[in-house]
Amino acid sequence: MNAIDGHGAAGGPPGAVQTMTCAEAAAAALADAMAADERIVALGEDLGRGGIFGQYQGLAQRFGAARVIDTPISESTIMGAAVGMALAGLRPVVEMRVADFAMCAMDEIVNQAAKNRYMFGGQGRVNLVARLPIGLWGGSAAQHSQSFEAWFAHLPGVVVLCPSTPQDSYTMLRAALAGDDPVIHMEHKELWGRKGPVDRGAAAMLGRARTLRQGRDLTIVTWSAAVHVVNDAAAALAAGGIDASVIDLGTIWPWDRDAVCADAARTGRLLVVHEAVQAAGFGAEVAASVAEHTGCRVARLGAPRVPVGYAAALEDEVRLGVQGVVRAATAILAR
């Protein structure tokens, strides 16, 4: 992991295309934002040593303990302090370590951060970014492997993001830090080491889906780490003569309904794929909306409604795989 210097994770100037991991890109995004705006502070556990995934590497050394704040192990205290900081004029970045631990801070997120602007007529803005690493993390079992994007999509007052690439890790975090509403920024734990190009001069269009490939036979919508599984599945389908569109939502709320509906209406079939539990997952919202607006065939693929097992064999039972996506796509085409 490269330390953050005056130019960012890999030492290049902003705007230059660099190869970074998702963790390096996120650290660079935060470094660039903190350098530009002294109101931005970060608080959470283990930030002083760079975060458990390296996503804060070098920031404490550069900005000091007053702006990169190591906290006690109390998620409700961390989130509550961040809400107060935001109302006092700062722009806090709140590290929850893993999304599962945010369950200890739900009152502060749901009843304080999300509702303050509405309840007080816009007199206050809780412009914080809550970073909740989601998803399977090999051998981490039931309390460290969950994906809760549907919970927060259901919550009025927050923006919900799920980056899938190093470029997203940089641009979406920068966009989140520039906003005036609370943002739930859900970064997948198994993507931290993934490498890719990052243009630090690029800007994210939050609320806009990205079409990764356009096909004629069906539309597959996905997000976060599942994007890479679906891309591989689309390649396998293409080898068998099935041409699939792949759309990465990126922003879970507000999601790009227009883009998804337009592509699904063109192909006549929609498959929504996510790592989270399928029952009441956000895929249900996408599928229902597309069915209501286009009348096309819809299907979903997600995890079974069981806890994630510690043993590798049990974890594999809930892990999204290429062949599972291929089977689901083939099934909807046969209907």
Candidate list 144, 185, 188, 274, residue with the active-site label: 144
Closest to 7 in 3D by CA, of 18, 179, 47, 40: 18
- End-to-end Cα separation, the chain, in angstroms: 48
Q: Indicate the residue type of 219.
A: T
Structure tokens at 240: 């068998």
Q: What is the DSSP string of 37-85?
A: -TTEEEEETTGGGT-TTSTTTTHHHHH-TTTEEE--S-HHHHHHHHHHH
Structure tokens at 129: 């970014």
Per residue, the 3-state secondary structure of 286-297, as one string, reads HHHHHHHHHCCE
Both tokens assigned to 154: 């259901």
Question: 19 exposed, middle or buried (CB, 10 Å; 0-12, 13-18, 19+)?
Answer: middle
Residue 311 has a CB neighbour count (10 Å cut-off) of 10
Q: Measured between alpha carbons, how far is 102 from 158 in angstroms, rounded to an integer?
A: 15
Is 154 considered catalytic here?
A: no
Contacts of residue 45, Cβ cutoff 8 Å, sequence gap at least 6: 70, 71, 73, 78, 95, 97
The residues carrying an active-site annotation are: 144
